[in-house]
């Protein structure tokens, strides 16, 4: 089953959101295929099936999807990448 809705984001504009009854792996592969076929379009996939990818695999898919989409991140006002990285570091 697939449902489609359209949303608006003040920074990215119109977004197509597809909700699929599929596992994470299948949904992420679909998402990657869609952003490759429709570069420049704002497409988001939500899945309802099981999470059958590791955290590392998820990160790899999301990076590949982000690069294929042609979109670049937009930093929100007040965002500091230095602070974000500092908060994420583990001091040993």
Q: What is the pLDDT of residues 35-50, one digit of tens each?
A: 999 988 999 999 999 9
CB-neighbour burial class of residue 2 (10 A; exposed 0-12, middle 13-18, buried 19+)? exposed
**Domain span including residue 9:** 2-88
Residue spans of the chain under pLDDT 50: 92
Cα(50)–Cα(6) distance, integer angstroms: 24
Taking the whole predicted model, whether its pTM rises above 0.95 is answered as no
Q: What DSSP state is assigned to residue 72?
A: -
pLDDT of residue 89: 60
Quote the CA–CA distance of 57 and 21 in Å, as a whole number: 20
Closest to 68 (Cα-Cα) out of 45, 28, 37: 37
Query: How many structural domains compose the chain?
Result: 1
Return the sign of the alpha-carbon dihedral for residues 91, 85, 31, 33: negative
């Amino acid at each position: 089953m697939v449902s489609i809705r359209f949303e608006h984001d003040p920074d990215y504009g119109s977004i197509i959101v597809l909700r699929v009854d599929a596992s994470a792996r299948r949904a992420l592969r679909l998402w990657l295929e869609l952003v490759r076929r429709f570069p420049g379009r704002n497409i988001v996939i939500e899945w309802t099936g099981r999470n059958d990818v590791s955290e590392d695999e998820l990160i790899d898919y999301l990076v590949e999807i982000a690069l294929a989409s042609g979109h670049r991140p937009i930093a929100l006002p007040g965002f500091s990448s230095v602070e974000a990285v500092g908060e994420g570091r583990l001091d040993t």
